[in-house]
């Protein structure tokens, strides 16, 4: 009877503890249990998103659409990018539209939203800018999600008469807008900034952008363009230059590879993992491998 009473009291205590949490877990707890603990890795405001990198500059057919299929397996809440989505570099508007039609066909297969960033291939010249505007409107914008600020910048601003800035640039009007956005969202859980050219690594007007960011500590910045992966710290904050998602590979294998970035946002900051495309498989990896061997596709 005494042993039964102890067990009942233990179960009652467990029910009371679970009643005080938001966890959906419901399990019978005994005096000995086949698990380590019940402190679940769960917070209601934590979320995951994916970042895809450069697709162009000599794209390899099939890689990017394959990445879209694999992202659907992961089921993030949304997908970000860092630009260079079409080859561009032409004044043939019919060709530009055809390239955008192909690209939008890829991202429309995603189960979740895809947020655009403009790259130098996407608006290589002044003729291509109206195409972007007619399809996507703004070339820089921001949004918040779970009190996390996302800012997307245009490093091809303003355009030159022939080709846009080799090293990247943030125009005066855009910079003023950027300052207003940061002032309006002075204390978010975290701030993410996305841009195509990693202008913190080039001779551009980065000092002006850095002054706008000020001493904002809870900050992470992503860029691309160079087709090689690089992480650096500036004033204690992480800046990432991503590799490729189907774009031209170059450099050392440890720098240039096809990947997507998996970001988990927590109150303590982002947890970032690089997922190689060849490492994301369906629930039938043997069948998928056999199908690829038969067709010769990626």
Q: Residue 253: pLDDT band by 50, 70, 90 thresholds? A: confident
Question: Do 103 and 188 belong together in one domain?
Answer: yes
* Position 124 in a domain: yes
Look at residue 22 and tell me whether its pLDDT is greater than 70. no
Give tens-digit pLDDT for 140-175: 999 999 999 999 999 999 866 655 567 899 999 999
Look at residue 212 and tell me whether its pLDDT is greater than 90. yes
Range 39-60 average pLDDT: 94
* Position 298 in a domain: no
Nearest to 277 by CA among 252, 250, 247: 247
Look at residue 137 and tell me whether its pLDDT is greater than 90. yes
Q: What residues make up the domain containing 54?
A: 47-279
φ, ψ of residue 268 to 5 degrees: the values are: -90, 0
Question: Do 172 and 189 belong together in one domain?
Answer: yes
Average pLDDT value over all residues in the chain: 89
Give tens-digit pLDDT for 85-115: 999 999 999 999 999 999 999 999 999 999 9
Question: Do 188 and 252 belong together in one domain?
Answer: yes
* Position 292 in a domain: no
State the pLDDT at residue 135. 98
Question: Do 274 and 168 belong together in one domain?
Answer: yes
- What is the rounded CA–CA span in Å between residue 166 and residue 162? 11
State the pLDDT at residue 208. 95
Question: Do 154 and 73 belong together in one domain?
Answer: yes
Question: Do 64 and 38 belong together in one domain?
Answer: no
* Position 285 in a domain: no
High-pLDDT (> 70) share of the chain, %: 89
Residues 15 and 43: beta-carbon distance below 8 Å: no
State the pLDDT at residue 7. 43
* Position 290 in a domain: no
Reported as type and span, the H/E element at residue 261 is strand 259-266
Question: Do 144 and 180 belong together in one domain?
Answer: yes
Residue 230: is it exposed, middle or buried by C-beta count within 10 angstroms (0-12/13-18/19+)? middle
* Residues sharing a CB contact under 8 Å with residue 170, sequence separation 6 or more, in sequence order: 153, 154, 155, 157, 178, 199, 204, 205, 208, 209
Look at residue 42 and tell me whether its pLDDT is greater than 60. yes
Least confident of 48-52, 62-66, 235-239, 292-296: 292-296
Residues 104 and 110: beta-carbon distance below 8 Å: no
State the pLDDT at residue 16. 34
CATH classification at residue 117: 3.60.21.10
* Position 291 in a domain: no
Range 41-46 average pLDDT: 91
Between 174 and 42, the more confident residue is 174
């Amino acid at each position: 009877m005494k042993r039964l009473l102890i067990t009942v009291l233990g179960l009652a205590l467990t029910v009371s503890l679970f009643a005080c949490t938001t966890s959906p877990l419901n399990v019978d707890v005994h005096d000995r249990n086949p698990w380590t603990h019940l402190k679940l890795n769960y917070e209601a405001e934590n979320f995951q998103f994916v970042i895809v990198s450069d697709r162009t500059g000599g794209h390899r057919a099939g890689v990017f659409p394959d990445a879209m299929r694999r992202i659907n397996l992961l089921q993030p809440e949304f997908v970000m990018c860092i630009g260079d989505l079409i080859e561009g570099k032409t004044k043939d508007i019919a060709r530009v539209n055809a390239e955008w039609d192909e690209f939008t066909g890829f991202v429309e297969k995603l189960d979740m939203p895809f947020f655009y960033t403009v790259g130098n291939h996407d608006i290589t010249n002044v003729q291509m800018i109206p195409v972007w505007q007619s399809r996507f409107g703004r070339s820089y914008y921001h949004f918040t999600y779970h009190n996390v600020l996302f800012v997307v910048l245009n490093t091809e601003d303003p355009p030159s008469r022939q080709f846009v800035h080799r090293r990247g640039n943030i125009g005066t009007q855009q910079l003023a807008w950027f300052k207003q956005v940061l002032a309006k969202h002075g204390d978010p859980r975290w701030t993410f900034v996305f841009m195509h050219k990693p202008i913190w690594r080039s001779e551009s007007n980065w000092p002006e952008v850095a002054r706008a960011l000020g001493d904002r500590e809870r900050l992470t910045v992503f860029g691309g363009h160079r087709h090689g992966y690089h992480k650096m710290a500036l004033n204690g904050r992480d800046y990432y230059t991503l590799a490729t998602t189907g774009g031209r590979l170059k450099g050392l294998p440890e720098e240039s590879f096809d990947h997507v970035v998996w970001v988990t946002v927590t109150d303590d900051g982002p947890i970032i993992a690089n997922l190689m495309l060849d490492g994301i498989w369906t629930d039938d990896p043997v069948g998928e491998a056999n199908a690829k061997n038969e067709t010769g596709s990626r």
